[in-house]
Amino acid sequence: MRKVAVVTGGVSGIGKAICQELIARHIFVIIADIQEHEGRILEAELNKDAVHAKFVPLNVTDYKNVASVIHDVFEEFHRIDYLFNNAGIAMYGEMGEMTIEDWKEIMAINLWGVIYGTQIGYPLMKKQGFGHIVNTSSAAGLGPSPFSTAYATTKHAVIGLTTSLHYEAEEFGIKVSTLCPTFVDTPIFDNAKAIHMDKSIITKQLKQQKMISPQRIAKMAIEGVHQNKPIICPMPMRKTLDVVFTIFPFLHKALMRMVCKVSRNARLT
């Protein structure tokens, strides 16, 4: 029987690339996203030669919507092999200039969206006795990220949730991994919310970094899933973070202070 995957935030960026990679591996994909028009276009594109995917509208901040989508998939296919809780947004700004509404917005998508998907999908996987949950975090969840404090907070939380559940779920035949992308060439930078900051300056600075293509990170993700890694992160970045944090803390402090300086230059007066 063909395996089935649900991918939230599946219409663009990493989510879209994951959908394409899964289909290349003969896995049927449920593209779940709030962008309905773009989702229908992608569904048609992926089903050009044969039926490989199905689009369903999904707002990950709506618990009932998430529950309905995941339960409908389970009822239709009688299985969910992979659940990629991938939907997310970015947000820049000094914490002192953020509002509680800003916090609620990013927490609702980046953290509660992951919690909802995991909380709903996990019991179904326990029932079937197998499955793999993959929650998208970020390299920003592995260390500090000044001027992206709210974003980093959500991503640290996703890593804590996922790595803890990784071991808790073993007894039930369920695997759990977190994907920690670094600088990936996706629309997330352009779509990010900038609070009292010139986003064009930040985006320009970010895009000077060596970008990884969504297709490459998707391949890394699926390979890491097959190896049942608790944390899936491009190895050079993971090693660099470990070395900088542990062996050269002075370099880490200098880097973080430079990030603060560059970010403050992007502040709107």
Q: Which residues are catalytic?
A: 151
Place of tokens 């989702």: 39
* Cβ atoms of residues 6 and 82 within 8 Å: yes
Q: How far apart are CA 144 and CA 252, in angstroms?
A: 10
Ramachandran angles phi, psi of 267, nearest 5°: -70, 140
